[in-house]
Amino acid sequence: MLRSHSTTGSNGDLSDYQNQNPMKNKIQTILLSLLPLLSPFAIAQTSEERSAEPEAEAALQSIEVKDARDPYLRPYRTMLKGVTAFEKYHRHASQGELRFILRASVPGSSIKDVTLRIAGPSITIPVPIAEDGTFSLPINEAAAADNADMLLNQKKEAMRWRPYIRSPGLGTNMRRLGDVRLECEVYWAIEQGEMSFFTRNALNVIGGPCRSSKVAFGYLLQAKLQNATLVSGERRLTLALAKNGMGFMPPMHDESWSDDALIELRYADGAQ
């Protein structure tokens, strides 16, 4: 899980917030320890614990499974909530297209043989996965009515997924802040359905992961970074990285940075 430096802004330093809101601070500390770690997104508290970094996850082996709960990704209806969020917050990336991306939990592992389908008691819809691991979510009312699930042919622990939104014209080492903000809104709309009532509502109390200065949003990658810099005109900000260099921490909540601000990623050892 990513950790970041304490944030300051118009609402004051985080420590002031914690002193003034001991109950919210207690809730925040508990709920953040419960968040799932299988996603390429990580949500971390900006606190004195920022120096802590969990050990790398153990390697997870992909295995073939047949019609079991293991390959369950998400309920189809839950994934459709991400489509609704995309439409609601599309202003962050008006030229972006909603796609999702699958990655192996072990960086560098192939997803060549991974398949995905929407499956219910009376319906099955194959979902094509592009060579880069991206896919579009088909909109199908019959599948929603059938209470269908999104199913992989791999154990779900072997795969990571996230929304994947890229405005046109960006280089491979560039991300647009508005695209990342929109990805966060889509991911949160989907992922909160998998959380407990307590965790979901505790996050909402503090403003949610995409718009609160009290929660830091970590964007995890498949390659190690040397540095990440947020750029808008002459303004530049060096972003905090994961301890292992495999992610960066964008200021999602800071509206002084426009959606058009760009994140320049400089990879270590020539990685892309």
Report the b/e string of 28-54 with b at 16+ CB within 10 A.
beebbeebeeebbbbbbbbbeebeeee
Give the percent of the chain with pLDDT over 90: 49
pLDDT of 96 above 90: yes
pLDDT of 255 above 80: yes
- Judge whether 9 lies within some domain: no
Residue with tokens 């614990």, as numbered in its chain: 49
First to last CA, the chain: 22
Q: In the numeric block, which tokens belong to residue 53?
A: 């970094």
Contacts of 141 (CB under 8 A, 6+ apart): none
pLDDT for 189: 94
Q: Which domain holds residue 230?
A: 14-270
* DSSP letters for 227-264: EEEEEETTEEEEPPB-TTSSEE---TT-TTS-TT-EEE
- Judge whether 8 lies within some domain: no
pLDDT for 165: 97
Helix (H) or strand (E) holding 201: helix 197-205
Tell me the pLDDT band of 155, cut-offs 50, 70 and 90. Answer: confident
- Judge whether 5 lies within some domain: no
pLDDT for 147: 95
pLDDT for 24: 41
pLDDT for 236: 98
pLDDT for 166: 96
- Average model confidence (pLDDT) across the chain: 77
CA 33, 38, 43, 47 dihedral sign is positive
pLDDT of 94 above 60: yes
Long-range own/partner contacts, residues 82-86 (CB < 8 A, 24 or more apart): 82/137, 82/163, 82/186, 82/187, 82/189, 82/190, 83/137, 83/139, 83/186, 84/189, 85/185, 85/186, 85/188, 85/189, 85/190, 86/163, 86/165, 86/182, 86/185, 86/186
**Helix or strand or coil: residue 186?**
helix
pTM of this structure = 0.75
- Judge whether 1 lies within some domain: no
Residue of 201 and 50 predicted with greater confidence: 201
- Judge whether 7 lies within some domain: no
- Name the domain count of the chain: 1
Q: 5-43 pLDDT, tens per residue?
A: 333 333 333 333 334 444 444 444 333 333 333 344 555
Mean pLDDT on 71-77: 85
Number of Cβ within a 10 Å radius of residue 258: 11
